[in-house]
Chains A and B, each alone.
Chain A
């Protein structure tokens, strides 16, 4: 009996260690209805040393997170899977990425804290604004590049460190290396602990230029 108890306890420790291993390995949940894009994003993330789970729909994503159907949110523990970042395509049949974003942000638990990034092949300003207002961390223009993933990963990992100084450094740097035309990404780079103020986030030059080009 005592032996069984020991085994149980050591497994428990392992499980807890795994769920706290976010130190080096980020676990990313990627959602995309395109098979080609799923393969690419999976590889992009794996080569960036992330643990990856790829699903083909928003429904499946919610299922994976344990947010689908029964309404009971399991705490991070035995059943819970720790996800550090969700990357979702915007246009998907059934539930869109935008709807998935809203659902996650409506959760009154740890799930709401998970940063959600929207990916889209269409550079539509109203769409971008809507997503950011709903709490998306970033909006990536497809096709997603290695540099996008690297930047995201850096941001998420730093988000784990509550350092305001680092954050302002990040903002300055992100405005310095805004890449032109092809891979315009809107990056408010909000710190996870900042109060939701997406309407008043400083706009990076890349956004301003993309807004200007639309006038």
Chain B
């Protein structure tokens, strides 16, 4: 029983830190509100969709910026997409990193775009790893609760 309380506390503290450090914002809370018994995996499902989407876009951005002639309009459209989806799941720092990126696209500033891409990639990998950790903790807590139920 003690182990479970420990896990709960860890989960609580970890989640709080993600908000404090700005990795997540209120929109993530909104997603949690949409999860219930009928949709117990909603948050993981949406976040997973976001991961797939983000990785696809980041690859596109990398390829686009490697071209001889860069299509800034297309670049901007992709950044806009990423900005939108990160905002929809509450990935605040990724969302914010997309803002200067869009400005550089408008200015057709290649250096700026390259730097921004690095920044966005960095923020993305951070939030991905943190969310994966969060989900793992939730799984452990769930497993621990189920184990408790088995004890007669």
Partners in one complex: yes
- Name A25-43 residues within 8 Å CB distance of B: 34-37, 39-40, 43
In the complex, per-residue mask of A147-178: 1 if CB is within 8 Å of any chain B CB, else 0: 00000000000000000000000000000000
Chain A residue total in the interface (Cβ 8 A): 17
| A37, A43, A91: the one within 8 Å of B85 (CB) | A37
Task: List residues 119-161 of chain A with CB under 8 A from any CB of chain B.
Answer: 121, 142-143, 145-146
> Within 8 Å of chain B (Cβ to Cβ): is A44?
yes
Count of A-B contacts judged by CB separation below 8 Å: 53
Residue of A whose beta carbon sits closest to that of B33: A146
Contact (Cβ within 8 A) B50 A36? yes
Q: Which residues of A contact B42 (CB under 8 A)?
A: 43
Stretch at the interface among B11-19, B23-31, B112-120, B128-136: B23-31
Known: A36-B49, A182-B26. A44 touches B34 (CB 8 A): yes
Q: What residues of chain A lie closer than 8 Å to B20, measured between beta carbons?
A: none
- Render A81-108 as a binary contact track against B, CB cut-off 8 A, 1 for contact: 0000000000101000000000000000
B106 → chain A closest CB, angstroms: 13
- CA of A143 to CA of B95, assembled, Å: 12
B46 on the interface (CB 8 Å rule)?
yes
CA distance A36 to B54 in the complex (A): 10
| Chain B residues with CB under 8 A of A36 | 46, 49-50, 53, 84-85, 88-89
Can you list the 5 inter-chain pairs with the closest CB atoms, starting with the nearest?
A36-B85, A43-B34, A143-B88, A143-B27, A121-B84
